[in-house]
Amino acid sequence: MIILGVEFTAHTFGVGVVTDKGEVLANIIDSYSTPEGGMIPDKLAEHHLKVAEDVLKKAFQEAKVSWNQIEFIAYSAGPGIDPALWAGYKIVKEWSAKYGKRLVGVNHCAALRCSS
């Protein structure tokens, strides 16, 4: 089984492609920051909407997979910065509808503990 994981809780939009055995096939990220190093919530959302398709494309290329091989989309359902979460959810919801993939929300904090 191959799973698409999407993270967008704050300044980073990331797409991972993993197997049900824990093998990481791709882990592509794109991060936003102001020149001063801070995060502006509305700008985070704009960033995520802007880079999502490119990050996805790079992840699929690195993993050598297509939508036909993806079983479902796991995504960061929170906690996080509200505008970033809503932008990310909009993206995965569109991918889910377009490609017929089930969405599975994941608690960002619990996922981090599992991967450590």
Q: Which two tokens stand for residue 108?
A: 């960002």
Domains of the chain, by residue range, sit at: 1-29+48-68+91-116
DSSP 42: H
Q: Which two tokens stand for residue 96?
A: 């889910």
- Angle formed at CA 17 by CA 105 and CA 61, multiple of 5 degrees: 135
Q: pLDDT in tens for each of the 116 residues of the chain?
A: 999 999 999 999 999 999 999 999 999 999 998 888 889 999 999 999 999 999 999 999 999 999 999 999 999 998 999 999 999 999 999 999 999 999 999 987 765 544 44
The interaxial angle of helices 82-99 and 41-63, nearest 10 deg, is: 40
1-29+48-68+91-116 CATH fold? Nucleotidyltransferase; domain 5 (3.30.420)
Whole-prediction pTM value? 0.91
